[in-house]
Structure 1
Amino acid sequence: MQIGEVNRIYSMLIPIFEAWKRADARFAQTYCPWSLLSQKPPLPESYLLGAPEAVFHNPFGEGSFGREVLQEYVSTYYNPGRVHGICEEYRAAATIDVEHDREDKEASKKIECPMLHLWAEGGWLDTYYAKDGGPLGIWRQWAPKVQGQAIKGGHFFPEENPDDKAVLVKLFLSA
């Protein structure tokens, strides 16, 4: 995330800089993809292409969004170009994105537009960052106008609970 001119922001993550700054052994165990998929090629790509189904059955589980959606996710991981793109996202998150966030933080840049942040109730963001005031506590350092809440669902809560997500996003965008 590089802070720029926008009218509204919708997010499901905390700032990458903040996530890496707080990373510890529990983070590494729970969110091993962040470290693994950010490694240089071809290791991460080989891992994902070698067992696409396993990526979604462990550690995240199937969730409650149905077989058809699960198969759509899995099919993405059979495409080498898409897998490489996914890994490039993780590589950027561990390098240039952190640097951009650090520069913005050091320059005291803030996101001044309204921002909606949603996360899975009882999930990683809901529990791991509790000591920091939860996801909103972290985001308020970056975006004073942030609002949001946890919603029912797991790692893939937007697909698991599309109705609640849609209601909250519509309310946010209509304000």
Structure 2
Amino acid sequence: MNHTAFDYQRVQVSAGIELNVATTGSGTPVVLLHGFPQTHLMWRHVAAGLAADHTVIMPDLRGYGDSDKPQDTGETYGKRAMAQDVVDVAKALGHDRFALVGHDRGALVAFRAALDHADKITHLASLDVLPTLDMWDVMHGTSAAVGFHLFLMAQPPGLPEQLIGASPDAFFGHFLDAWGATPFPADIRDEYLRASREAVTSIVADYRASATIDVEHDSKDKDARNRLTMPVTVLQQDWGTALGFDAKARWSAWTQDLDHRTVPYGHFMAEEAPDEIAQMIRELQKR
């Protein structure tokens, strides 16, 4: 599904992979990265609020939506490779520096991009996720059952793909229904299911990378005490209380200039509260 207000193009990135990229507006560039199990369409309302004075760039991540879904080699869906995609897309569209906003899986890609390409990311925003190492650290005990999919898709190739592929609409629909504060419009929900149904193998590979190559890369940065140098805004639900951790403290360990906010929205906050998310992005870029 294409959004009528967006312009679309296929953009080739350094690995010879083409991403489906939607754009709108004009002005200073902002790249928006979607989460699971969604596509660039999750930003449709936020983009409308930014288009008057921003060039809004919304790729489908590799392996998602209508972007290419290359075979996994172990590093193909690592966040380092996916972050390079983002930099390559922005450059192809004429932008060497840009603000970057990510939700869920897209926020993990944005986090890696900000570590690897600090000279290109002017501002960073993360919606409702923890950095990978912190995510694994806090997921323990019975409260971690909410993240069962993390452990399922971390398993070696074969079983996760078989189980999810046997009933993809039930699997992906579970998260669309359980994580949102309000139901999705039927056509948007159907599109998310269609896109996910066609991407089971690559989505699993993305999650598997977060238990393998991403842990390796993030651990090296943590050991080297590398931190995010640009202004960072984090919006999160109050799930730290349920899982027994301090989300702001977790993020503070990775940042130098942090604005951390606990918000009353559901996980899919860009669609539930788009005006507020757009305003946050504007405020971030004034820092």
For structure 1, which segment, 147-156 or 85-94, has the greater mean C-alpha deviation from structure 2 after superposition? Answer: 147-156
Q: Which runs of 5+ in 2 are unaligned?
A: 1-110
Q: Which residue of 2 aligns with 1:167?
A: 279
Match of 2:100 in 1: none
Q: Identify the residue that residue 101 of structure 1 maps to in structure 2.
A: 218
Q: How far off its partner does 1:59 sit?
A: 5.2
Q: Compute the TM-score of the two structures, normalised by the length of structure 2.
A: 0.53
SS in 2 for 1:143: coil
**Is residue 77 of structure 1 aligned with residue 196 of structure 2?**
yes
Tell me, yes or no, if the aligned pair for 2:173 and 2:193 is still in contact at 8 Å: no
Please say if residues 172 and 196 of structure 2, whose CA atoms lie closer than 8 Å, have aligned partners that are also in contact: no
CA distance in 1, matches of 2:125, 2:241: 21
What does the per-residue CA deviation read over 1:45-102, in whole Å, with 9 as the maximum and x for residues that have no partner? 22322222322443552632322222121112221xx222211111111111111111
Stretch deviating more after TM superposition (109-118 or 42-51): 42-51
Compute the TM-score of the two structures, normalised by the length of structure 1.
0.83
Q: Does 1:112 align with 2:229?
A: yes
- Which amino acid letter does the alignment assign opposite residue 99 of structure 1? E
Query: 1:159 deviation in Å?
Result: 2.2
Q: Using the alignment, how far apart are the partners of 1:54 and 1:127 within structure 2? A: 29
Structure 1 spans left out of the alignment, 5+ residues = none
For residues 127 and 152 of structure 1, what CA distance do their matches in structure 2 show?
A: 13
Between 1 and 2, higher relative CO (CA 8 Å, sep ≥ 6) is seen in 1
What is the match of residue 205 of structure 2? 88
Aligned-residue sequence identity (percent) comes to 28
Residue 132 of structure 2 aligns with an amino acid whose one-letter code is I
Where do residues 18-167 of structure 1 align in structure 2 (5 Å cutoff)? 18-58=134-174, 61=177, 63=180, 64=182, 65-79=184-198, 82-120=199-237, 122=238, 124=239, 126-128=240-242, 131-133=244-246, 135-167=247-279
Amino acid at match of 1:52: P
Q: CA RMSD in A?
A: 2.2
Give secondary structure in 2 for the equivalent of 1:7.
strand
Counterparts in 2 of 1:128 and 1:7: CA distance versus 1, 3 Å: farther
Q: Which moved more, 1:99-108 or 1:57-66?
A: 57-66
| Bigger helix fraction | 1
Query: 3-state DSSP class of the match of 2:139?
Result: coil
Structure that is richer in strand per residue: 2
Q: How much does 1:43 deviate? A: 1.9
Does the aligned pair in 1 maintain the 2:168–2:196 contact within 8 Å?
Answer: yes
Q: Tell me how many residue pairs correspond in the alignment.
A: 168
